[in-house]
Amino acid sequence: MKTSKIKFAVAAVAAAGAMLAMPAHAGKTLDAIKARGQVVCGVNTGLAGFAAADSTGKWSGLDIDVCKALAAATLGDAEKVKYVPLTAQQRFTALQSGEIDVLARNTTFTLSRDASLGLQITVVNYFDGQGFMVPTRTKMKSAKQLKGQTVCVQSGTTTEKNLTDYSKANNLNIKPVVFEKVEAATSAYFSGRCIAYTTDASGLSSVRSKEAKDPKEHVILPELISKEPLGPMVRRGDDEWFSIVKWVLYGMMESEEYGITQANVDKMKSSDDPVVQRLLGGGNEDTGKLLGLDKEWLARAVKAVGNYGESYDRNLGPKTALNLPRGLNNLWNKGGLMYPYPAR
C-alpha cells in the first residue's frame, strides 16, 4: 500500500473514532421538553400497579416510574411530568400528533404497531400474557370451558384480536362483548353481563384486587393465550429521544444488576467498579454526553424511582395487593428475560 493510502486510511479511522466520541445533539423532542419544563407522558386512565391516580391526584405505578425517571434524567426533577390519561383507542393518535412525548401505557409491542403507525418501540418493561377471569361460583378450571360464553373485552387492543383468534383456533364460539373503556368492560363483568373478563394477566390481578367486592369470588384461569411484551413507545424521526428513553430503562435494569439502589446511589458514585462509574458518571466517565444529557442522568433517575427491581416491588411485588411474582420479569441472571444492553 502506498504511503498516501496508508495516511488516508489512518485519517479515516481517526475521523470515525472522533465521530463516535462526539456529544449527541439533544434532538427536537428533548429541546421541546426543556423549553416547556415538562415531560408529557401518555398513561393508562387507571390500572393499579401500572398507572393510577389516588384521591389527591397523585399518580403511581410501574409506567409512572418510567415517566418520572425520564423527567429526572432530562430535567433534574422527577415531578416535572404532565400525565395525559388515554384510552386504548386514543393512545397512538396522541403520540402520532405530538400531544405527548412518550406513551408509557402498558402497550404491547407487535409487528403491525412497529411497522405501520410511525411509532418506535423502545424497551420491554413488563412481560405479560393474556388471561381470563371468571366468578369462582362457575367452578371453571380452564379457558376451554368458555365455549359459547360471553366475554367482556376492551376494543382497540391486542386483547380483542387475541380473543377472536383463540376462539376460532379452539372452536369455542366465544361471544365478545366489546367496550371502548376498560372501566365499562370491568363494570359489565362485575354486574354479570359477561361470564368472563379478558385482558393481560397483570391487569386481571389489578382489577380483581381493586374493583371486586370480594377478590376471592373471582378466579384467574391458568391459561395464558398470548405473549404481551409491554413497554413505552415514541414517535419515529427523533433518534436522540428514542435513545434516551431506551437507555433510562436499560440503566434502571443494569442498576439492579450491579446493586445500585435508591438509597445507596450517592455512595455508589465513588465505586471503583468501571461499570458502576459508567452508569453513575463516576470519575471521568460520562455516558450522558452521548445522549445529549449530563453525566449524572441515570443517577438522578435511580434516586427518584429506584432501580427496576425496586420499582417492580413497590408497584407490583409481594407487599402490594397485586402480589405478582417477578417470573419472566426477573433479571437475566436470575432466570428472567430482563437483559439490559451494557452501558459502555
Long-range contacts of 35-38 (CB under 8 A, 24+ apart): 37/75, 37/80, 38/71, 38/75, 38/80, 38/81, 38/82
pLDDT value of position 40 = 98
pLDDT tens by residue, 141-151: 999 999 999 99
Distance CA 161, CA 157 (A): 7
DSSP β-bridge partners for residue 230? 108, 126
Are 28-127+230-327 and 130-226 the same fold in CATH?
yes
pLDDT tens by residue, 237-292: 999 999 999 999 999 999 999 999 999 999 999 999 999 999 999 989 999 999 99
Asked if residue 9 has pLDDT above 60, the reply is: no
pLDDT value of position 24 = 60
Distance CA 238, CA 93 (A): 17
Give domain limits for the chain.
28-127+230-327, 130-226
Asked if residue 95 has pLDDT above 90, the reply is: yes
Asked if residue 116 has pLDDT above 90, the reply is: yes
pLDDT value of position 148 = 98
pLDDT value of position 99 = 98
Q: pTM of the entire structure?
A: 0.89
CA 124 to chain centre: 6
Distance CA 182, CA 206 (A): 12
Q: What is the mean pLDDT of residues 88-92?
A: 95
Q: Which CATH architecture has domain 28-127+230-327?
A: 3-Layer(aba) Sandwich (3.40)
Asked if residue 25 has pLDDT above 70, the reply is: no
Q: Which CATH architecture has domain 130-226?
A: 3-Layer(aba) Sandwich (3.40)
pLDDT value of position 283 = 87
Least confident residue range of 10-19, 83-92, 273-282:
10-19
pLDDT tens by residue, 148-206: 999 999 998 999 999 999 999 999 999 999 999 889 999 999 999 999 999 999 999 99
Mean pLDDT of the chain: 93
